[in-house]
Homo-oligomer: A and B are copies of this chain.
Amino acid sequence: MYRSHTCGELREEHIGREVTLAGWAGKVRDKGFVVWIDLRDRYGITQLVFDQERTPAALLDQARETGREYVLQVKGNVIERASKNPKLPTGGIEVLVEEMTVLNPAETPPFTIEDQTDGGDELRMKYRYLDIRRNPVKNKLMFRHTVTMEVRKYLSDQGFIEVETPYLIKSTPEGARDFVVPSRMNAGEFYALPQSPQTFKQLLMVGGLDKYFQIVKCFRDEDLRADRQPEFTQIDCEMAFVEQEDILRAFEGLTRHLLKAVNGVDTGEFPRMTYDEAIRRYGSDKPDIRFGMEFGELNEVARHRDFNVFNQAELVVGIAVPGAASYTRKEIDALVDWVKRPQVGAKGMVYVKCNDDGSFKSSVDKFYSQEDLARWAEATGATPGDLICVLSGDAGTTRSQLSMLRMELAGRLGLRNPKEFAPLWVTDFPLLEFDEESGRYHAMHHPFTAPKPGQLELLDSDPGAVRANAYDLVLNGNEIGGGSIRIHDKKTQAVMFRHLGFTEAEARAQFGFLMDAFQYGAPPHGGIAFGLDRLVAILGGQESIRDYIAFPKNNSGRDVMIDAPAPLDAEQLRELHLGLLES
């Protein structure tokens, strides 16, 4: 036994006990006549003390020479601390050391192992094993474990069973790029890593397993954006003999359980909103409803004056920014610059200050009367002290730009409180979305998503208007889960494939085994998948997922700690029947 107690365990009730501890040396404070060492392990920090009066000289010297991050084992007595530290659970005591063994010395770490470290992102990634010693990272990994255990316990208690689906599967050209795995035994052939277990979970429903879940790694070979990982974790779920309502209820149950168990929050029933409503009210299919600032459409009240920008726009839409009427000219100019950044892309912004005296001051006073502006204020819900920000242009783009502005301003105003949780179901997503590049419609969710009852006929006349039995669960402006009711009959599936531009042969080549399976009695079914990395981060009150992943990759998909990917040797390539192309 290396230790009798952990470094987080000792309290005043242990005073007088002889204990053995093991851990890492943190701060070493040498006051000459007395030396203190913070001994740290996963569970906490215990202060070790060595002093001239009570500690043998050799041991005192040894203590002095102890370097940061040395691995120590000490034996000693728990004594009362002269000046207690109420911030530390072990702050009432210290251990007067009698014996100390250096289990392993340590080089000086490249950054300090403290809650506030001096290490930059790159360095912390390269020495991730040291970063994990820091409380902020360690606690996030432990939090992730807590969340996944709660997910598993809850779903298991509800009769779901976790089934492992294969990782070495088959590449499908649809959707994002697959990572592939060359087969040595089957020359010239490749497995693919799953982007999701979608088809397998549907096969499990055909197989009668009824209530399935899996916490599973998925892989997507996409050009990485910040906070996207080539491998990510999903809570993947599917149910048979259900309608959309059953699924929403089941997974609202899971999410409420998590919020309660992990955050101690009871949100009550989740509000619901159709996709169309979300776009209209917030310009986003994942609106953050922790705060207001809903869109006010101004077409009626802002056209028919001499301001041609608005007259020619498909949509004029604004938001009321609470308390921002006091923005200076400079601040407003900066805001206009912000919406003009390429990432947002607006051509300009009109603003109206709602003065405390009920009057208005706008950037378009030349064109609009006070009465006109009063109607804008009404449409956006602005009250005295607010700033109305107005964008215009084609409807889709303008809404999306105003949504970005809304989120940005809410952030600046502190309205996005990470300790507040505002879940929202967004339902009735479009079945198809038009892809400019390929000039055809793609399945918005995936090719097996069922259209809403009675809308199949619309596919010919107005494909973009068809709504699906598809839903997202949104939490604080992030999509944390999404799913759909699946098509389970052959005829509907054939119609869908035709509209997605698949010939029968193409459909068969890609989804043949699923189509076969559906001939042998597929039950009505549907499901949902949650992005675990994101879910855990949001529950943890953080924006970034990276520290909730033990060993993340950087934005080029590299693991800088182990230096992967890396070249293979020639023999390995030959065995895999592969050659490298010159790039």
Could you tell me which A residues sit within 8 Å of B by CB distance?
1-3, 22, 24, 40-43, 69-71, 103-107, 109, 127-133, 138, 141-142, 144-145, 148-149, 152-153, 156, 161-171, 173, 177, 179-193, 199-200, 203-204, 206-211, 217, 219, 221, 223-224, 230-231, 233, 241-243, 246, 488-489, 513, 517-524, 549-551, 553, 556-559, 561-569, 572, 574-581, 583
Known contacts: A187-B583, A231-B168, A564-B169. The answer to whether A521 contacts B69 by CB under 8 A is yes
CB distance from A152 to the nearest CB of B (A): 6
| Bound complex: CA A209 to CA B134 (Å) | 11
| Bound complex: CA A100 to CA B551 (Å) | 54
Other-chain contact of A142, B42, B128, B161, B188 (Cβ < 8 Å): B161
Contact, CB under 8 Å: A521 / B106: yes
| Bound complex: CA A550 to CA B173 (Å) | 25
| Bound complex: CA A566 to CA B169 (Å) | 9
| Bound complex: CA A233 to CA B69 (Å) | 35
A242 surroundings in chain B (CB, below 8 A): 2
Contact, CB under 8 Å: B186 / A127: no
Complex copy number for this chain = 2
A575 surroundings in chain B (CB, below 8 A): 177
A550 surroundings in chain B (CB, below 8 A): 163-166, 200, 204
Contact, CB under 8 Å: B107 / A138: no
- Select from chain B the residue with minimum beta-carbon distance to A524: B103
A129 surroundings in chain B (CB, below 8 A): 203-204, 206-207, 517, 520
Other-chain contact of A185, B171, B203, B557, B563 (Cβ < 8 Å): B557
Contact, CB under 8 Å: A177 / B170: no
Contact, CB under 8 Å: A209 / B520: no
A210 surroundings in chain B (CB, below 8 A): 41-43
A518 surroundings in chain B (CB, below 8 A): 104
CB distance from A167 to the nearest CB of B (A): 5
A583 surroundings in chain B (CB, below 8 A): 187-188, 577
* Closest CB pairs A-B (n = 10): A132-B207, A106-B521, A189-B565, A170-B564, A2-B241, A145-B161, A69-B521, A183-B565, A579-B579, A42-B210
| Bound complex: CA A522 to CA B71 (Å) | 7
Known contacts: A42-B209, A152-B149, A207-B132. The answer to whether A520 contacts B180 by CB under 8 A is no
Residue of A131, A168, A488, A565 with most chain B CB atoms under a 10 A cut-off: A565
| Bound complex: CA A460 to CA B70 (Å) | 31
| Bound complex: CA A521 to CA B42 (Å) | 14
Contact, CB under 8 Å: B185 / A162: no
CB distance from A554 to the nearest CB of B (A): 11
| Bound complex: CA A563 to CA B241 (Å) | 28
